[in-house]
Structure 1
């Protein structure tokens, strides 16, 4: 039992909570039959109660695996926002014994088909004189919302496709999930310590257990999962705590009584999470908990707008606090109003496209360069689609002896006007088009800014625009064509508006400034 689970056990009777409270919500009797209690009054929930939430009935489709095509890349597991796709590596001899025990009447044939023999987990260990392992990939139907993001992440491997959900295949998926939960954890021999996907093979890294109320395909949830995985794998399951600013992340992450977190987590106001974190950090340090990682979560509204002064004050404090900015370029939680993070010309509430004004008329505020101007602060800008860059940014932030800010591009499906399966695709395009460049700025790398600022990960770093092997220029207009929030800027022939071309020029100016600061111009 982890420290947070031990604490919660002394404060709340977990079994009673799950039986009486969670049970009442699941059978629909909570509103009429549940009395107020101490935990409710204090807004307490035991960790991980989201595991009991069942989304089996909300989506018509499920992902289906073709094990013959699976390479064990773990991209589907990494990009799932709901901890619905899970994987383990089972040693070959144990797999053989397991298959021999499976019974057709208990969906044994289906379960056997979920094991893939991959180069990564079978052939490579065997060549090193170790036992090869079979890659076991399952979808937990109680957590899957049917977004299809896993299929997009799988890409050209074509090992996953969405199929209609039926009573028959639900029974198969549940049987596979049940067996998965019973199997031993993946052995360290099959895990590369600096590969985020491999880290998710360990049960101890599943500190975001699903059951949250996030939208299908939510980019924020994926970023949070990846943060928790990278931090817990390196430092342990009891290694961190979270102060979350009010926003989408707190609404879907604390829908009573379902808590998807297995780490200490508290929600503060929209504007003061960094200030609250300063108090938590000071108390932890006095209690000898200086090694414990403290992360602040907040959207662009909380960190770039109303809470910006609290963030700036925290960065100037020099305290060992890390910040994950969930940048959706809009006030997602309150209905899609424009924020200072919104792109120039973006069509959003409070900056709608019309006859007089063609979307947002202010340039986007760039938080990463602003944070760089605070002394001795580690800064990164990244996306979940660039998994290695994301992991290295989180690892460096955790290692840095002081404040750190990691700004993450987090697609918001309803407000961006994109498909539920589009987070990976749009994140990559945002980087390729200079809409959202990747960067890191590490004060430890040198005295000059050009020594600290690194633009690796962006295509064609010395050029204005990225040109594909087919000779196609990828620019901001290319990106805008793929999102509903810019749809009104194109005429019937597909020509962009003057306002959108100004937005493209703005993105180019921002990119050139970063190039100059990094010593590339």
Structure 2
């Protein structure tokens, strides 16, 4: 390429232009990057690795997180008790690190694979991972089909010991045990055996039961190895998004990720948990970036290739809101998932417009005069519903069916769609590592974060488009907790999180600020009821009775 002369006023510069970079040779790229990952794993990268073309071009190979080893992170690890298991799949679904996986295989095939193991003790350790459950063993037998054995295995190199899997298991099929002796090597050996097994046959997977999607290998496009916090609520949502997309589209979809926690823990060089193409953009322009990619893909004839924008509070509620609004108004077929933590976790816990009033954060401290954040929370879902013909769903990763069905519907919708997902942030909310699902369910039950789906295909009126099902007691102001016989309110939710702790006196009485937040949450719920026509339906139901 010839030199180029540039004149700037009286200054004349001659620049030697570099040649255009050649397209990447993907097999060669992955092979070269394997050496980079190994150097980082050995701790020698900063001393021995030269600056190379891959680093200069900000490339990270797909799925390199699978080579990352977290087995030294936590002192405890989940232990599977097959005799108690019902194959509910909640542990596999809720794990934020792809550290606990499951398969269903025909009984005779399992016995064949076990027979290949010569050492009797090792064979019995492997056999202990297989359970005869009603769902996959008894019911198929009754239908004259081949009975399947359900298995759970834990990958010690991905597990961070958050115990989320144990917390969501209502069957006492998992317990945390101390890592001692040869336990970690045994776990690695057992997980290698799991990976050597054939994939779950499709006859054991019911497409009408979305929670079973992760039984098949092809849905694990989020491989773990991300640097997210233990128990991270965001990572679970991303894993579920990846599984839902993979089940329908394999790896034929892509991600535009806005600056935030998700870009930090999913692209901490050289580790990447995704097996799909992705690009990291800035806080404010991820939606705009996606518009350009969508246009280019459409030019290439890739209209059916799905594109998802991933962002948090800043990217979608605040600095990137205008770009998001413009994208939605364009009518382009782009999907968005908002990881709603109600705080800028990536910058040390600053408040955002997603933050609840009264919440204590780094930029809204609790003091003598100001009691935490003084502004109201922006209800972005309700704002987005006012854009023309936009599919909007507000959901949580703990409401498995609601989440998966929202993803499927968003993909099917020919136009812009947005999912707002409640994602617990353990360090900033002050909750335990195993509490993501519990807090998400409590947020919904207490009207703190109602779930709903707004589907423009359902009709012209909001009351036809807006569906509040999956919220408890949708005709009432509050849901009555059957354990206490009392209404479950925002105050009950706030008691469980450190971010609201200073609002309670020594006797546990809430502050005036929290009572005001509770009233604001009730008003928000009533507004949703009105938009969905719930009150009219309640009157009709009463008249019919």
Cα distance, 1:105 vs structure 2: 6.2
Q: 3-state DSSP class of the match of 1:135?
A: strand
* Counterpart in the other structure of 1:494: 508
Cα deviation 1:401-423 (Å, max 9, x = unaligned)? 00000000000000010000000
Divergent runs of 4+, >6 A: none
**Does the CA-based 8 Å contact 1:186-1:202 persist in structure 2?**
yes
* Counterpart in the other structure of 2:445: 432
Matched, 1:66 2:92: no
Q: 3-state DSSP class of the match of 2:450?
A: coil
Unaligned regions of 5+ residues in structure 1, if any? 1-6
Q: Distance in 1 between matches of 2:475 and 2:25?
A: 56
* Counterpart in the other structure of 1:4: none
**Does the CA-based 8 Å contact 2:102-2:215 persist in structure 1?**
yes
Matched, 1:96 2:111: yes
The correspondence of residues 190-339 of structure 1 with structure 2, limited to 5 A, is 190-237=204-251, 239-339=252-352
Q: 3-state DSSP class of the match of 1:107?
A: helix
Q: Count matched residues.
A: 512
Q: 3-state DSSP class of the match of 1:167?
A: coil
Matched, 1:13 2:26: no
Alignment equivalent of 1:405, drawn from 398, 418, 421: 418
Cα deviation 1:127-157 (Å, max 9, x = unaligned)? 2211011111100000000000001111x21
Q: TM-score, normalised by structure 1?
A: 0.97
Q: TM-score, normalised by structure 2?
A: 0.92
Matched, 1:112 2:138: no
The structure with the larger Rg is: 2
Larger deviation, residues 103-112 vs 357-366: 103-112
**Does the CA-based 8 Å contact 1:418-1:482 persist in structure 2?**
yes
* Counterpart in the other structure of 2:150: 135
Unaligned regions of 5+ residues in structure 2, if any? 1-22, 536-545
* Counterpart in the other structure of 2:365: 352
Cα distance, 1:176 vs structure 2: 1.0
**Does the CA-based 8 Å contact 1:8-1:46 persist in structure 2?**
no
Cα distance, 1:99 vs structure 2: 3.0
Q: Distance in 2 between matches of 1:31 and 1:107?
A: 40
**Does the CA-based 8 Å contact 2:61-2:272 persist in structure 1?**
yes
Q: Distance in 2 between matches of 1:284 and 1:100?
A: 50
Q: Do the aligned partners of residues 205 and 495 (structure 1) sit closer, same or farther apart at CA in structure 2, a change above 3 Å counting?
A: same
**Does the CA-based 8 Å contact 1:111-1:172 persist in structure 2?**
no
Matched, 1:23 2:38: yes
Cα distance, 1:11 vs structure 2: 7.3
Cα deviation 1:96-130 (Å, max 9, x = unaligned)? 22333334466222211111110111111112211
Alignment equivalent of 2:385, drawn from 366, 369, 372: 372
Q: Distance in 1 between matches of 2:490 and 2:28?
A: 51
* Counterpart in the other structure of 2:528: 514
Cα deviation 1:474-519 (Å, max 9, x = unaligned)? 0000000000000001011100011110111110110010001011
